[in-house]
Structure 1
Amino acid sequence: MEKQDQLLMKKQNKNLVLEIIRNQSPISRMEIAKVIGMSPTSITRIVNELHIQGYVRETELVTSGVGRKAALLDVCDDVLYTIGIELDKLIIKIGIVNYVGEIVAWKSVEREAFEDYNETLDKVNLNLKVLIDINRIPTEKIIGIAVGLPGLIDYKKGVVMVSDQLKWKNVNLADDLKQLTQFDVIVDNELKMKIVAENFKGMTKDSRNAVLVGIGSGIGSAIILNGEIYRGETNNAGEIGHTVIDPTGNVCHCGKVGCLATYISEGAILTDSRKVKEIGSIDDVFDSYRNGESWAINILDRTSTYIALAISNILCLYNPEVIILSGNTIEKLPEIKEAIEQKCELYIWEPIKESVKIVYSQLSDRGVVLGAAIQAQNLLLNIE
């Protein structure tokens, strides 16, 4: 038992040193020793092991006062790769990401709205292999895949319980995709993947308490509390789309009445728009809004109101430092930001208003893929 404890501690120290080099590079051995509180001799031994394994390298020498120059350390970006995948109703996005979080290969392909489950998996597998081959990524350096998609996910088992957008129910996505690709697979809700990316290199990098809200084909959120993803009992924390805002309101596909999603989602906006005008897509609604058509202005004014109310409720529940707005609606209609901010001024409780920053995701259409790949690194990387 004592030997096992020693091995575990050695492994933890090794991971800690590597994480510090990754996050604070370039950094010297002496600086690492000060941060961790370990002896320089122990740090040197760990760094030497990481160097032999190909994880770290010396980058340059610096002088700090008198004495000899200190070597600075950095991680090797090509020591390993992970694959991030986003599945949505009409699109599949695949990215190969290196150890420092750079997307080194990217491919997006169309998905049919009612595409069969196996068709989608075959399409993912085929395009992934093409991407690996074209970019000459050594398969032995790929440690795994992570998939982000809308829906209720049992992330421990890799099972999609329900995804309304994909029309999937109780599918063993992690096992099925692993069988096809031969890589380990992690599956989670798309927004939980995206907030990992925001926390790694986005708008919440220096925040320990943050909420990401996604507004598009549906509406949902992901929550980080004390630096960790808050999942709730069944990984459904943040599913604000099914909070009831009007008990006499619209009927939701979930069977309830008056869910937030029935007022904010693209589908809800399209349904109301088609009562007034023959509309082909959500882009047509946004164009009508920009052209000053009163019906579109009224519908999107109501949308901005409900978004502001949702933000207000989230802030009262979780009191985060930062709330990030993202998703198709925000990206395609940036003009709505001003309306949302004006209504937030009206609805957010004053004591909270001063302590929170409302910002917008800068990760564009690659946030879920990047976050998924980073989460694969976090969960699958095993350094002995």
Structure 2
Amino acid sequence: MEKQDQILMKKQNKTYVLELIKNMAPISRMQISKNTKMSPTSITRIVGELQEQGFVKETKLVTSGVGRKATLLDVCGDVLFTIGVELDKAVLKIGIVNYVGGMIDLQTYVRNPLESYEETVQNINDKVKNIIEQNAIPVGKIIGLAVGLPGSIDYENGIVRVAEQLRWKDVHLVRDLSKLTSLNVVIDNELKMKIIAENTVGKAKDSKSSILVGIGSGIGSAILLNGEVHRGESNNAGEIGHTVIDPNGNVCSCGKFGCLCTYISEGAILADAKKMKDISSIDEVFVAFRDGESWALNILDRTATYIALAISNLACLYEPECIILSGNLIDKMPEMKQQIEEKCERYMWEPIKKNLHIVHSSLGSQGVVLGAAIQAQNSLFDIN
């Protein structure tokens, strides 16, 4: 037992030192010793082991100031890779991300919404193999892949419980995708993947409490509390799309009436627009808005109101440091951000409002893929 404890402590120390170098590079061995309160001898040994494993390298940089110069250390980004996948109703995105969170390649494909589950899994497998080959990444350096998709996800057991947009129910995605790709696989709700990216490299970097609101083909949110993704009992925390705002309202695909997603999603906006004009795409609504057509102004003003009310409710429930607006609707219509902020100013409770920052995601189209790849690394990486 004592030997096992020593092995575990050595592993923990090694992981701690590696994370420190990763987050503070370039950094000297002496600075690592000061930060970790480990002896210089221990740090020299651990750094040596990390160099042998290919995680750490010496740079050409040295410390400044008087006295003996010390060589600074950095991590090797190409020591390992993870693959992130975003799966939505009409799009499939696949990216390769290195150890330090750099996107090596991102490829986007149009997906047939009528594609079967089996066809989709095979398609992911084919595209994953293609991107690995095209970038000449050694398979041995890929520690796994992660998929972010809309719906209710049992991430612990690797099962998609319900994905209405994909028309999936109780499918064993981790099992089936692992079998095809021969890789370790992680799955989760797309917004939970995206808030991990925001918390690592985005607008919520190092935040302890933030909420990501995604508005596009549906609407949902992901909640970060105490630096961890808040999941609830069955990983459905944040599914604001199915909060009822009018019990006598629009019928939802879930079978209830008046769900928020029946008023805010792109499909809902398009359905309202078609009552006013013969159009076929959400982009035409945006063009009409910018042209000042009254019907488009009214529809998107109503949409902004519902979004602001949802944000206000989330803020009162969780009082986060910031709320991040993201998704196709926000990306294509950045003018909406100002409208939403103005309505939040009107509807939000004053004690909450004064400390809350509402920001626009800067990760764009790669947010879910990047978050998925980071989640794969967090879940699957073992320093040994």
TM over 0.5, yes or no?
Answer: yes
Structure 1 residues 111 and 61, CA, compared in 2 at 3 Å: closer, same or farther?
Answer: closer
- Give the aligned partner of residue 197 of structure 1: 197
Runs of at least 4 residues off by over 3 Å = 63-66
Q: CA RMSD in A?
A: 1.0
Q: Which residue number corresponds to residue 173 of structure 2? A: 173
In 2, the alpha carbon distance for the partners of 1:114 and 1:124 equals 15
Deviation track 1:66-112 (CA, whole Å, cap 9, x = no partner) reads 33111111000100000000000111000011111111122111110
Alpha-carbon shift at residue 144 of structure 1 (Å): 0.2
Distance in 2 between residues matched to 1:370 and 1:114, nearest whole Å: 26
Task: Report SS of the residue matched to 2:51.
Answer: helix
The answer to whether structure 1 residue 331 and structure 2 residue 324 are counterparts is: no
Q: Match for 1:107: what amino acid?
A: Q
Q: Give the match for residue 123 of structure 1.
A: 123
Contact 2:63 / 2:71 at 8 angstroms: preserved in 1?
no
Over residues 184-237 of structure 1, what are the superposed CA-to-partner deviations in whole Å (9 max), with x where a residue is unaligned?
000000001001111111001131111000001110011111111111111111
User: TM-score under structure 2 normalisation?
Assistant: 0.98
Structure 1 CA distance for aligned equivalents of residues 153 and 294 of structure 2: 40
SS of residue in 2 equivalent to 1:277: coil
Q: Is residue 364 of structure 1 aligned with residue 364 of structure 2? A: yes
Name the counterpart of 2:110.
110
Instruction: Determine the structure 2 residue equivalent to 1:317.
Output: 317
Identity, % of aligned positions: 66
> Which one-letter code corresponds to 1:89 in the other structure?
K
Post-superposition shift, 1:161?
0.5
Show the counterpart of 1:135: 135
> 1:223: which partner in 2?
223
The amino acid of 1:295's aligned partner reads: W
Aligned partners of 2:63 and 2:254: how far apart in 1?
64
Match of 1:78, SS state, is helix
SS in 1 for 2:50: helix
2:330 is equivalent to residue 349 of structure 1: no
Counterparts of 1:331 and 1:26 in 2: how far apart (Å)?
Answer: 35
SS in structure 1 opposite 2:77? coil
* Residue 235 (structure 1) aligned with residue 235 (structure 2): yes
What SS does the aligned partner of 2:305 have?
helix
Tell me the CA shift for residue 241 of structure 1: 0.6
Tell me, yes or no, if structure 1 residue 79 matches structure 2 residue 79. yes
- C-alpha contact (below 8 Å) 1:61/1:69 kept by paired residues: no
- In the alignment, residue 153 of structure 1 is paired with which amino acid? I
Cα distance, 1:64 vs. partner? Answer: 4.4
Structure 2: unaligned runs, 5 residues or longer: none
Aligned-residue offset at 1:63: 3.6
Residue 300 of structure 1 aligns with which residue?
Answer: 300
Asked if the contact 1:84–1:94 (Cα under 8 Å) also holds between the matched residues in 2, the reply is yes
Written as runs of structure 1 = structure 2, the 5 A alignment for 1:147-162 is 147-162=147-162
State the shift of 1:258 in Å. Answer: 1.3
Q: CA deviation at 1:9?
A: 1.5
1-structure distance, mates of 2:270, 2:334: 18
Residue 2 (structure 1) aligns with: 2
How much does 1:313 deviate? Answer: 0.5
Once residues 279 and 174 of structure 2 are traced to their aligned partners in structure 1, the CA distance between those partners, rounded to angstroms, is: 38
| Counterpart in the other structure of 1:274 | 274
Q: 1:285 offset after TM fit, Å? A: 1.1
Look up the equivalent residue of 2:62 and give its one-letter code: V
Which has the higher mean CA deviation after the structures are superposed, 363-372 or 265-274? 265-274
Q: Secondary structure at the match of 2:79?
A: coil
Contact 1:80 1:141 in 2 (8 A): yes
- Distance in 1 of aligned mates of 2:193 and 2:62: 38
**Partner of 2:382: helix, strand, or coil?**
coil
Residue 342 of structure 1 and its aligned partner are, at CA, apart by 0.7
* 1:11 lines up with 2:11 in the alignment: yes
Q: Which runs of 5 or more structure 1 residues have no equivalent in the other structure?
A: none
One-letter amino acid of the counterpart of residue 185, structure 2 = V
Does residue 251 (structure 1) correspond to residue 267 (structure 2)? The answer is: no
Amino acid at match of 2:113: A
1:96-107 equivalence runs, <5 A: 96-107=96-107
- Secondary structure of 1:237 counterpart: coil
Q: Which amino acid aligns with 2:367?
A: G
TM-fit CA distance, 1:62:
2.4
For 1:283, the equivalent position in structure 2 comes to 283
Counterpart position of 1:30 = 30
Q: How far 1:61 moved relative to its partner?
A: 4.1
Q: 1:61 to 1:280 in 2, by over 3 A?
A: closer
Cα deviation for residue 23 of structure 1 reads 0.9
Query: Could you tell me whether the CA contact under 8 Å between 1:162 and 1:169 is conserved in 2?
Result: yes
- Residues 256-285 of structure 1, C-alpha deviations (whole Å, 9 max, x = no match): 111111110111111111122222011111
CA contact (8 A) 1:96 1:373 kept: yes
